[in-house]
Amino acid sequence: MGGRDQKIAKKLEKKIVKKGFPDVKISAEEGIVRLNGRVNLWSEVITIGYLAAKTKGVKGVINDVTAGEIERKGEEKKVTKRDVYDNVSLPKRADVVIVGGGVIGCFIAREISRYKLDVVLLEKESDVACGATKANSGMVHSGIGESSGTLKQKLNVKGNKMYDKVCEELNVPFERDGLLIVITTETLPPKVRKVLPPFISNFICEKIIPYVVFRKGKKAGIPLRPVKREELLEMEPNITDKAIVGVYSPTYGVVYPYEITIALAENAIQNGVKIALNTEVEDILVEDGKVKGVLTDRGTIESEYVINAAGIFADEVAEMAGAREFSIHPRKGSIIIFDKEMKGYINHSLSELILPQDPHTKGGGIFTTISGNPNWGPDAIEVSDKYDKSVTAEEIDTIFECGSLLPDFQKSSLITYFAGLRAATYEEDFFIKASENVLGFVNVAGIQSPGLAASPAIAEMVRGILREIGLKMGEKEEFNPIRRAIPKFSKLGIEEKKKLIKENPLYGNVICRCEHVTEGEVVDAIHRPLPATTVDAVKRRVRTGMGRCQGGFCGPKVARILARELNIPLEEVTKDGPGSNLFVGKTKSLLAEEA
Amino acid sequence: MIEVDVAIIGGGPAGLASAMKACEEGVKDILIIERGMELGGILLQCIHDGFGTFIFEETLTGPEYAQRYIDEVKKTGINVKLNTMVLEIDSAKRIIAVNQEDGLLEIEAKAIILSMGCRERTRAQILIPGDRPSGIYTAGVAQRYINIEGVIPGKKVVILGSGDIGMIMARRFTLEGAKVEGVYEVMSNPGGLTRNVVQCVEDYEIPLHLSHTITNIRGRRRVEGVTVAKVDSEMRPIKDTERFVPCDTVILSVGLIPENELSKSADVGMDPITNGPIVDEQMQTSVPGIFACGNVVHVHDLVDDVSKVAEVAGRGAAEYIDGKLKKRRSPIKVKAGRNVKYVVPQIIHGEKFDEDIRFYLRVKEIEKSVKTVVLADGERIFEKKIKIVKPPEMVKLDISPDILNRITGDELIIDVEGEEDEEKS
């Protein structure tokens, strides 16, 4: 530890002891603080992490303090059948290896597929978009929710503007339905409301707060428009009487986060990127302070450039390289989805402004997916387990409170709920940097909301970093940015439907009663450049099982089609990869028949 | 554009019986549109027996019961389109359907019979918290996998809900060599027919835990177990009774929902209690010429009742296209009274009744030694004693024309009166 680092450690130790944790060991190097020890509760681990992050001079927090209450479950026992339906045999070497097939990894892969490079993307799951990417709101934020001056806000504002073009190129739906920030009688904290005369708090809500929000947007280059009560009621007739005024943010948009990720992966493959699914990184090979390659459970790839886009596991991958300057503490967010028959009840995304704002989440809101399903949430819960994607009864209750903006909303139209884990660091900002210690290793970490909105700008930034650290990038003339989408039968007009069925009769066989998905779409999904090999992978591509019956009708049909097209027995069909088989064996009568 | 007299949406028991009746009544051009590859609907996967005791006075399996109707339909000139999904119906009785052979079909019908049946309530709709791994199935889906696809969903099974399908699946899993850890029921009484409690659960020594529910599902890739708990009188889980039950499969038999997306697209008026269309005594919906029958109207316990009521709809449709549908007066609303959850039909409006009307009602709570009472304008026009009423067992009341013709007001109330009420009155 240098003198400066010693000073930081001492200062921090004082703070942590004062909070009642005398046993936590603290060291610092080049402004990166490392914490070790054991406390009772996970919430205490989180508190200690934030104490460190807020200490002056600290650039990064590696928090290895453990909690006595729950041990991390860790990875389940290794599944053996890793190479079952793989389309890519692992190459021996690559110019760039990307670790992680979420929206960030796939955006980077597509971005650098513009250049004459051998790129390999490694994903441990059986499909891309399996982590936080598949379990978020799909909101392309405008940036108004982020603190001024953060990397998050800068990349968010920039990324948002890039969405129209990229979605057009990839043929994925993107809608800018706008966000209404709603100021209500509960916006001011109860304490403030209690002491202020009503006319003053009213004045604050009606005039001052919208102005402050508007100013913040102007400073960051985010278009905003104050909305008076009459207009608010016109825009959202079902809104609560508590609503006073609003601020409209027209650049807010929504995508299917998994669909854009799959499209990016497909377009990257079209342009020469290799994507190896079911491939888990076990070590990053480093020699003389330089990256040499990646060791996976399916072999080694030599490479001098490795991009760490491992999401929730980014700290573990960084540790493998000896380039860890942060900790990821998973913060769970759950979302409730309602039936699309409630479409039209809400016209814009809605978010109630509650002061003071929680610095770690923009808080739950109400938004409508591209398909027209209203969604409520997400909440924000710190969890110790990186595999904990359970939705608790308490969370369901909390999210139902988001709906207080729409008091008469029919909650019984609920279809399902799910949870995702935000890859939060203690610094609460994106961590996008080439490692100073390990040449060729680039961390793209701490990408939580608004990561989806920022992702096009993040990919561009990473491209720039690669060039800065010496990667030669010659442009590829044959780069094709256009990706053809799977035809969506339910979205076509009568004549188009007729034409499509004539070309391929499988488009005349509707196998999903809720979303009107055809067999043609499912077969198409299975034979795409990035093949769908599981029930959930098919679901993400064509929406089978996303409707109100949750796969009751289409489930058996999709399983059969997968077995047929992949030429495997029905018992080997899985929900989302090895270990998630749908069935345990054949029935007695079928076995007898086969014998 | 195809033009037909009667189009029937769904070729399950309701669709088949209504088609036969319409045909018998002389309708020439009948079309059954079925999304499955065969006629018979859900009966095809119900390979257990117990069907047909009223209609055929013998006990048949589901496929056998269906086959009797299918054979009859085949003898007639009724047209059938299999593997055909109806995408939309409008209130002008135009249907858009699709299949592989014909492509997109546009059908115009003089009358339509809705017989789409019902679907199962899912895990999320009853708000079971926890993980979302593989191995969670609704009972009907599991039944399809075992009986049609020939695959077993799991080896160690916990079943939530003691509805009929739940209990039948407890037996079916056991017969396939799986271990059923228990059937858990949130209510204090079984949700299905008594005969299923005896034949499917007790006979196989499967534990039936009443007043219990699942409070959590755990498992990353595949189900690893569930937490179960006792519930209090308001059906809230009691925290300190929670225990973990290891299993690889969760089967949910937690209710059925009439499937009415098409009815709604045709602007048919709905009953929020049954989740089905509001129908009159001829099973006509609020849209003239659109009839409905079977589980799309409300969920029945016995297929025999479905067939019977489907005949009413079939005849109604025939009379509608002949212009002979009974003369109508302003509707008489039929209201659910004491301890009655709902009554079907919800309205009657014949001008003069010349035959019995059968009312189907479901009670809210178990009650012994009761009297069902029909009140018109405060007057008790009908009374019938019943030994016991239970929510899982539908009550049927046949009311004769001489009673019906005495109705003067515009409202009927059907009560189930307990012993105490009787003493008071």
- Residues A498-553 have pLDDT tens digits of 999 999 999 999 999 999 999 999 999 999 999 999 999 999 999 999 999 999 99
Whether residues B124 and A414 touch (CB distance < 8 A) is answered with yes
Q: Are A505 and B129 an interchain contact pair (Cβ–Cβ within 8 Å)?
A: no
Residues B24 and B70 in one domain: yes
- The predicted-structure confidence for A308-338, as pLDDT tens digits, reads as follows 999 999 999 999 999 999 999 999 999 999 9
pLDDT of B262 > 50? The answer is yes
Note the ipTM here.
0.94
Nearest CA in chain A to B156: A584
Residue B423 clears pLDDT 70, i.e. is over it: no
What are the chain B neighbours of A552 within 8 Å (beta carbons)?
A: 119-120, 122, 138, 140-141
Option in B131, B221, B261 nearest A579 (CB): B221
Rounded mean pLDDT of B384-407?
93
Q: Which residues of B touch A414 (CB under 8 A)?
A: 124-125, 127
**Which residue is catalytic, options A141, A329, A516, A527?**
A141
**Pair B280, B374 in one domain:** no
SS (H, E, C) B230-293: EECCCCCECHHHCEEEECCEEEECCCEEECCHHHHHCCCCEECCCCEECCCCCCECCCCCEEEC
Does A590 sit within 8 Å of B151, measured CB to CB?
yes
Which pLDDT band holds residue A356 (cuts at 50, 70, 90)? confident
Mean pLDDT along residues A45-60 = 94
Same domain, B295 and B277: yes
**CB-defined contacts A:B, below 8 A:** 143
Put simply, whether B222 touches A (Cβ < 8 Å) is: yes
Q: What is the pLDDT at residue A6?
A: 93
* Structure token digits, residue A246: 């609003």
B1 CB within 8 Å of a chain A CB:
no
Contacts of residue A415 in chain B, CB cutoff 8 Å? 122, 124-125
Output the domain CATH number for residue B135. 3.50.50.60
> Quick one: B62 and B172 in the same domain?
no
- Verify whether the Cβ–Cβ distance A509 to B177 is below 8 Å: no
Question: Chain A residue with minimal CA distance to B140?
Answer: A552
Q: Are A556 and B85 an interchain contact pair (Cβ–Cβ within 8 Å)?
A: no
B288 and B248 both lie in a single domain: no
CA distance B369 to chain A (A): 35
Selected residues 60-89 of chain B with any CB under 8 Å from a CB in chain A: 83, 85, 87
Q: Which residue of B has its CA nearest to A588?
A: B176
Tens of pLDDT along A404-417? 899 999 999 999 99
Query: How far does B236 lie from chain A, in Å, by closest CA?
Result: 12
Select from A415, A560, A580 the Cβ nearest to the Cβ of B124.
A415
To probe the interface with A, which of B47, B88, B89, B98 has the most A CB atoms within 10 Å?
A: B98
Could A570 and B133 be called an inter-chain contact, meaning their C-beta atoms sit closer than 8 Å? no
Shortest distance, CA A501 to any CA of chain B (angstroms): 6
Q: Please answer yes or no on whether B103 and A415 come within 8 Å at the CB atom.
A: no
pLDDT of residue B53: 94
Whether residue A141 lies in the annotated active site? yes
Contacts of A570 in chain B (CB under 8 A): 149, 151
Q: Check residue A308 and give left, alpha or beta (phi > 0: left; psi -120 to 50: alpha).
A: beta
The pLDDT-based confidence of A456 (bands split at 50, 70, 90) is very high
B331 and B422 fall within a common domain: yes
* Chain B, nearest residue to A492 by Cα: B104
Residue A87 pLDDT greater than 70, yes or no? no
Using N-to-C axis directions, what is the helix angle for B13-24 and B303-321, rounded to 10°?
40
Q: A489: how many CB neighbours lie within 10 A of its CB?
A: 25
Residues B316 and B332 grouped into a single domain: no
Residue with tokens 């219990």: B212
Same domain, B342 and B410: yes
- For B87, name the nearest residue in chain A, comparing CA atoms only: A516
Lowest mean pLDDT among A328-332, A561-565, A587-591: A587-591
Give the percent of chain A with pLDDT over 90. Answer: 90
Provide the 8-state DSSP code for A17: H
**Phi, psi angles (nearest 5°) of residue B119:** -125, 170
Nearest beta carbon to residue B176 from set A76, A516, A587: A587
pLDDT surpasses 80 at A402: no
- Residue A77 has a pLDDT of 44
- The answer to whether the Cβ–Cβ distance between A76 and B221 falls below 8 Å is yes
Residue corresponding to tokens 């610092």: A28
Same domain, B74 and B166: no
pLDDT of residue A89: 81
**Which of the listed residues B266, B297, B325 is the one where a domain comes to its end?**
B325
For residues B33 and B78, membership in a common domain is answered with yes
Mutation for A interface: B95, B221, B227, B250, most A CBs within 10 A: B221
Classify residue B145 by its DSSP letter: I
Q: Which residue has the higher pLDDT, A130 or A80?
A: A130
- B141–A552: do the CB atoms touch at under 8 Å? yes
pLDDT at B425 over 50: no
Together in a domain, B192 and B44: no
pLDDT bucket at A83, cuts 50 / 70 / 90: very low
HEC secondary structure over B323-383: CCCCCEEEEEEEEECCCEEEEECCEEEECCCCCCEEEEEEECCCEEEEEEEEEECCEEEEE
For residue B421, name the pLDDT band (cuts at 50, 70, 90): low
A79 — pLDDT class (breaks 50, 70, 90): very low
> A72 pLDDT band (50/70/90 cuts)?
very low
- Write the residue in B98, B144, B259 that is nearest to A510 by C-beta: B98
Contact yes or no for A414 and B146 at CB 8 A: no
Q: What is the DSSP string of A460-494?
A: HHHHHHHHHTT---PBPTT-----PPPP-GGGS-H
Is B125 at the interface with chain A, CB within 8 A? yes
Task: Encode pLDDT of B379-392 as tens digits.
Answer: 999 999 999 999 98
Q: Hey, how many other C-beta atoms are within 10 angstroms of the C-beta on B208?
A: 18
Region of poorest pLDDT, from A19-33, A399-413, A419-433: A399-413
What CATH number is associated with residue B357?
A: 2.60.40
Q: Judge: A502–B103 Cβ closer than 8 Å, yes or no.
A: yes
More confident residue, B392 or A1: B392
Quickly state the pLDDT bin for B424 (edges 50, 70, 90): very low
Residue B326 pLDDT level (bands cut at 50, 70, 90): low
Count how many domains chain B has: 3
CA distance A278 to chain B (A): 14
Residue numbers of the domain that contains B246: 122-254
- Judged by a CB distance cut-off of 8 A, whether residue B215 touches chain A is yes
Torsion angle of the four alpha carbons A45, A51, A55, A60, in this order, in degrees rounded to the nearest 10: 30
Mean pLDDT (whole number) for B159-183: 97
Separation in Å, CA of B100 to nearest CA in chain A: 4
Look up residue A375 and give its DSSP letter: E
**Interface probe with B: pick from A582, A589, A591, most Cβ of B within 10 Å:** A582
Question: Do B265 and B232 sit in the same domain of this protein?
Answer: no
How far is it, in rounded angstroms, from Cα B254 to Cα B267?
Answer: 28
What count of residues does chain A have? 595
CB contact under 8 A, A571 and B221: no
* Residue where a domain terminates, one of B254, B278, B301: B254
As a whole number of angstroms, the distance between CA A33 and CA A59 comes to 8
More confident residue, A363 or A3: A3
Of A416, A501, A583, the CB nearest to B145: A583
Burial (CB count within 10 angstroms: exposed 0-12, middle 13-18, buried 19+), residue A495: exposed
**pLDDT, tens digit, 9 for 90 and up, residues A195-242:** 999 999 999 999 999 999 999 999 999 999 999 999 999 999 999 999
Mean pLDDT of chain A: 93
Q: Which of A389, A584, A585 sits opposite B131 (nearest CB)?
A: A389
pLDDT over 60 at A278, yes or no:
yes
With a CB cutoff of 8 Å and minimum separation 6, the contacts of A519 are: A506, A507, A509, A510, A511, A557, A561
* Residue A44 CB contacts under 8 Å (≥ 6 apart), including other chains: A21, A65, A67
Q: Smallest Cβ distance to A390: which of B119, B130, B138?
A: B130
Instruction: Summarize pLDDT for A170-201 with one digit per residue, the tens.
Output: 999 999 999 999 999 999 999 999 999 999 99
